[in-house]
Copies of this chain bind each other. A is one copy, B any other.
Amino acid sequence: MKKHNYGTAILSAFEYLLENYPEVFVIGQGLWSPWYVGNTMTDLDKNFGSERIIDTPVSESACTGAAVGASLAGMKPIVVHPRMDFMIFAMDSIVNQAAKWSHMLGGQANPGLTIRSIINRGGEQGAQHSQALHAWFAHVPGLRVVMPSTVADARDLLIASVLSPDPVMYIDDRWLYEQEAKLGPIVELDLSKQKPLITKKGDDITIVSSGHASLLARNTAENLRKKNISCELIDLRILNPFYCDDIIKSVTKTKNLLVVDSGTTTGSFSGEVISKVIENIPIGCLETNPRRLALPDAPAPTSRVLEKEYYLKVSDIEETVLNMIAK
């Protein structure tokens, strides 16, 4: 068992992949800078060479497309976008190309690249440096969407993503990097078999979440335990394709559902979760209206006083749960 934080867990996944798979390479902005992506890629360029760790011009679109093309030629590229917001220039390569090539060409062309897209917000950086757009990608058939919330998943799902023959959008959030955990040796997982996980059993309410919202949910559940409320926590992990059966079972049991999401509310993935549950649970089994907590329908403000209110906090979730089910 080795002590890791979320950041070093990502780093160790990179190291594992680069050591064991010569067809893995990494391309993106900031890869030769020591500070661009936190501690998640430190010294990779020095250890694996600048031909496999490629820092690039400010050309998100072509660099992403190049990774798609390299994957078609048998490589396993990882494109890094230090902020998801910058990746918006690369949408064609992701949505029109990577996600569709397998289907359009009869399953014969398989762009097995991984796009590591970092949610990087706060610090008064504002609307163009803050977005969490996972809902968009969950709406793109052909793309696997992965959002690790734990230290173990940060490492293991990155490896599984890169080894997957499909295009994967792997989304990490810098607000998760300081979590710590001891990890056992690496086991290669089959990404297509990964599903949402019940990370804590409970009876009173099911809380479904992804990424940083799952960290908030875990902390909330701790607090609520002290108030004798038992939360069942489900960490989505994989948003696309979306496997919902265990969530449905859980809600059928707890009879209460709260979904927490790091995106802005309208059109967020939280709606998908509630909808899919509601379509499938026994009618009349709920005790309360399902609820969701996500960001206001507004771009991220910069001013510290506004920013502080804008993002979700443990206390917001706690309060919502209490309002829903406190007797």
Contact = CB atoms under 8 A, between A and B. Distances in A.
Interface of A: 85, 88-89, 91-92, 95-96, 99-100, 103-104, 126-128, 133, 135-136, 138-142, 240-242, 263-264, 266-272, 274-276, 278-281, 283-284, 286-292, 296-299, 301-302
Number of this chain's copies in the assembly equals 2
B92 A88 contact: yes
Contact of A88 (B91, B127, B268, B275): B91
A89 B64 CA distance: 13
A61 to B, nearest CB: 8
A242 B279 CA distance: 21
Interface centre among A96, A274, A275, A281 (most CB of B within 10 A): A275
User: Which 10 pairs from chain A and chain B are nearest by CB?
Assistant: A139-B267, A271-B275, A274-B275, A271-B272, A138-B267, A271-B271, A100-B127, A103-B299, A141-B297, A91-B91
A292 B275 contact: yes
A290 B267 contact: no
Contacts of A91: 88-89, 91
Nearest to A281: B289
Nearest to A138: B267
A104 B92 contact: no
